């Protein structure tokens, strides 16, 4: 048993100051990922800063539309919130697909966005992993990489980001509110996570000690017609081998607006901007959706065992958009 200290801060500023001053400290929210990694010896914090009692657990409707979601709102509460279910169904569906009910009752909004990869080599301290131990190598590159990246990977890391929630938020143009040692700032969700590059151990763009305090969703009427489609090895609970978050707005048959984001294909939630450009302003058809997905995946570099992710991602893109189109066409 590795000993560690425990601290419960009185406020956000104290939490950030304490963590910034302790190189081996970590925030404790729901603990659904961190505690597992501590048991495996992957993370070994000397100090846990418990943020669950901070006043960050509210879901507030914003003037003019939109939502502000506190960082400690539990995944189960967010998925069941009536405004989320009505105005942002893609978010509710992503949360319900993400984990078992027991885990959703513990997991927090902020913690979900910062969870670590489920690459088996990262979780095994006996294997080479540049993310866990910089400079040690990447055993996954030529190993068991079925579940890993096909986009935006580097020679040092081929891991994927595991969050379903982050994929839905990327499609919704969410903004993350953070409090850093220098003060608060806003970070677009799509700019929160890094590509692996030369430093796969640096997973986000946040400063040391930064605490996510909330996530803001914009007023987006089109999001009432949205979907989250996840493919996994077992339906009860598993991480994605492919996922798509989709928002589709049609004017007759013409795509007026569309938002797409992919999960399980890259080191970060992948906003499919190229696919969106292919779709906007054109009459929708399944064939158009397939071409849009192909455009997005044109620069993919499948690994030895995960080439199936390309036709899979194309298929779920077509299915999600076609089902939305069938429900949103006007006479």
Domain layout of the chain by residue ranges: 5-52, 225-326
SS3 188: strand
- pLDDT for position 328: 53
Q: Decide if 151 contacts 266 (C-beta within 8 A).
A: yes
- pLDDT for position 254: 97
Q: What angle do CA 280, 65, 189 make, to 5 degrees?
A: 60
Judged against a pLDDT cut of 50, whether residue 115 lies above it is answered with: yes
Q: Decide if 226 contacts 246 (C-beta within 8 A).
A: yes
> Taking the domain 5-52, which CATH number applies?
3.30.43.10
- pLDDT for position 331: 36
SS3 98: helix
- pLDDT for position 330: 42
Q: What is the mean pLDDT of residues 70-86?
A: 97
Judged against a pLDDT cut of 80, whether residue 326 lies above it is answered with: yes
Nearest CA among 218, 229, 227 for reference residue 325: 227
The pLDDT mean for the chain works out to 96
Whole-angstrom distance, CA of residue 70 vs CA of residue 22? 25
Q: What is the mean pLDDT of residues 42-50?
A: 97
Q: Decide if 170 contacts 245 (C-beta within 8 A).
A: yes
- pLDDT for position 323: 96
- pLDDT tens, position by position, 202-214: 999 999 999 999 9
CA 1 → CA 4, 40, 44, 127, 150, distances in Å?
9, 11, 11, 22, 38
- pLDDT for position 131: 97
| Chain-centroid distance, C-alpha 183 | 24
Q: Decide if 226 contacts 90 (C-beta within 8 A).
A: yes
- pLDDT for position 156: 98
Judged against a pLDDT cut of 70, whether residue 160 lies above it is answered with: yes
Residue 27 phi, psi dihedral angles, 5° rounding: -75, 145
- pLDDT tens, position by position, 218-264: 999 999 999 999 999 987 778 999 999 999 999 999 999 999 999 99
Judged against a pLDDT cut of 70, whether residue 143 lies above it is answered with: yes
Within 10 Å of residue 305's Cβ, how many Cβ atoms?
Answer: 13
- pLDDT tens, position by position, 313-322: 999 999 999 9
End-to-end CA distance of the chain: 66
Superfamily of domain 225-326: CO dehydrogenase flavoprotein, C-terminal domain (3.30.390.50)
Q: What angle do CA 102, 124, 122 make, to 5 degrees?
A: 80
- pLDDT for position 234: 86
- pLDDT for position 2: 85
**Percent of the chain with pLDDT strictly greater than 90:** 95
- Residue 235 neighbours by CB under 8 Å, 6+ apart: none
């Amino acid at each position: 048993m590795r000993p560690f200290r425990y601290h419960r801060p009185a406020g956000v500023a104290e939490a950030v100051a304490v963590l910034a001053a302790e190189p081996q400290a970590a925030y404790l929210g729901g603990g659904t990922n961190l505690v597992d990694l501590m048991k495996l010896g992957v993370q070994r914090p000397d100090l846990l800063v418990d943020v669950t009692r901070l006043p960050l657990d509210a879901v507030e409707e914003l003037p003019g539309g939109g939502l502000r979601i506190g960082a400690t709102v539990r995944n189960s509460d967010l998925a069941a919130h009536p405004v989320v279910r009505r105005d942002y169904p893609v978010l509710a569906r992503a949360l319900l697909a993400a984990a078992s009910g027991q885990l959703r009752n513990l997991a927090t909004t902020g913690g979900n966005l910062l969870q670590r990869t489920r690459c088996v080599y990262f979780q095994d301290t006996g294997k080479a992993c540049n993310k866990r131990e910089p400079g040690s190598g990447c055993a996954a590159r030529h190993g068991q990489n079925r579940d890993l990246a096909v986009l935006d990977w580097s020679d040092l890391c081929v891991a994927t980001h595991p969050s379903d929630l982050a994929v839905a938020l990327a499609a919704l143009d969410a903004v993350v509110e953070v409090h850093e040692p220098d003060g608060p700032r806003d970070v677009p969700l799509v700019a929160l996570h890094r590509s692996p590059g030369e430093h796969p151990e640096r997973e986000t763009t946040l400063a040391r000690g930064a605490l996510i305090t909330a996530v803001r969703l914009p007023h987006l009427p089109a999001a009432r017609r949205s979907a989250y489609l996840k493919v996994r090895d077992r339906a009860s609970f598993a991480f994605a081998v492919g996922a798509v978050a989709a928002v589709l707005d049609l004017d007759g048959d013409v795509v007026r607006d569309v938002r797409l984001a992919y999960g399980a294909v890259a080191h970060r939630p992948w906003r499919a901007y190229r696919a969106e450009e292919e779709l906007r302003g054109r009459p929708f058809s399944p064939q158009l959706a397939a071409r849009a997905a192909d455009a997005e995946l044109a620069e993919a570099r499948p690994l030895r065992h995960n080439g199936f992710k390309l036709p899979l991602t194309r298929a779920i893109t077509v299915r999600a958009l076609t089902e939305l189109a069938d429900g949103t066409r006007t006479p």
